[in-house]
């Protein structure tokens, strides 16, 4: 599928299945996958919709979605040997979404031979689309973003660890609660680094 076709897919799915639930979720539409880890009907239905389109277009590709992995963790093992794979996070920042915060996103990445070659982040409420393509850089709403400026002094970063504050060498603040919000801030120079407490296959920027 063309890059812009994937972009349109994410916007259409968000308009049809995610935005109608924004600030309208009922208690029976929110569940815990694990203690503190939420999933909503919007996450589940959006992942199915994106997966169906990608499966039809790429029948031999491995397709891994966050909600699918929560049901079958063994699905992740398919990624290691996959020549072609797709990663889906239908509602990144689900807790923000359930709280009515606009800071959530729909994310998809294409991986070939263990290297991310294309990635999309669609922020439905902010109406910002970030697309990264191997060898082509990153764009926001169709416009190429310039190279990052040198880090601020002291560098500003976000972490999920408890240690936050300012020293002579670094300033550490709270993250947005959604990679689909934090990653673009890093790319646009609003943050100089991000620190996470766990590693999972997700949406990473393609190599040069």
Domain boundaries, the chain: 3-144
Band (90; pLDDT cuts 50, 70, 90): very high
User: How is the beta sheet containing 156-159 ordered, strand by strand?
Assistant: 165-166, 171-173, 156-159, 193-195
User: In whole angstroms, how far apart are CA 24 and each of 42, 102, 114, 126, 181?
Assistant: 11, 13, 39, 18, 22
Residue 207: per-residue pLDDT? 40
Q: Does residue 67 surpass a pLDDT of 70?
A: yes
CATH homologous superfamily of domain 3-144? Fructose-1,6-Bisphosphatase, subunit A, domain 1 (3.30.540.10)
**What is the tens place of the pLDDT at every residue in 157-181?**
888 777 666 666 788 888 899 999 9
């Amino acid at each position: 599928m063309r890059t812009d076709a994937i972009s349109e897919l994410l916007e259409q799915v968000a308009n049809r299945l995610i935005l109608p639930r924004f600030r309208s979720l009922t208690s029976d539409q929110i569940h815990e996958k694990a203690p503190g880890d939420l999933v909503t009907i919007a996450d589940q239905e959006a992942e199915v919709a994106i997966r169906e389109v990608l499966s039809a277009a790429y029948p031999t590709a491995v397709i891994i979605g966050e909600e699918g992995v929560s049901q079958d963790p063994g699905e992740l093992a398919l990624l290691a040997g996959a020549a072609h794979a797709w990663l889906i996070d239908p509602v990144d920042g689900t807790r923000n979404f359930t709280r009515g915060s606009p800071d959530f996103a729909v994310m998809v990445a294409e991986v070939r031979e263990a290297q991310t070659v294309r990635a999309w982040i669609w922020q439905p409420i902010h109406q910002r689309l970030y697309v990264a393509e191997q060898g082509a850089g990153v764009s926001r709403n169709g416009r190429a973003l310039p190279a990052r400026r040198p880090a601020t002094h002291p560098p500003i970063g976000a972490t999920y660890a408890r240690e936050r504050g300012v020293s002579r060498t670094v300033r550490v603040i709270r993250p947005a609660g959604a990679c689909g919000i934090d990653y673009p801030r890093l790319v646009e120079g609003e943050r100089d680094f991000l620190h996470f407490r766990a590693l999972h296959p997700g949406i990473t920027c393609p190599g040069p």
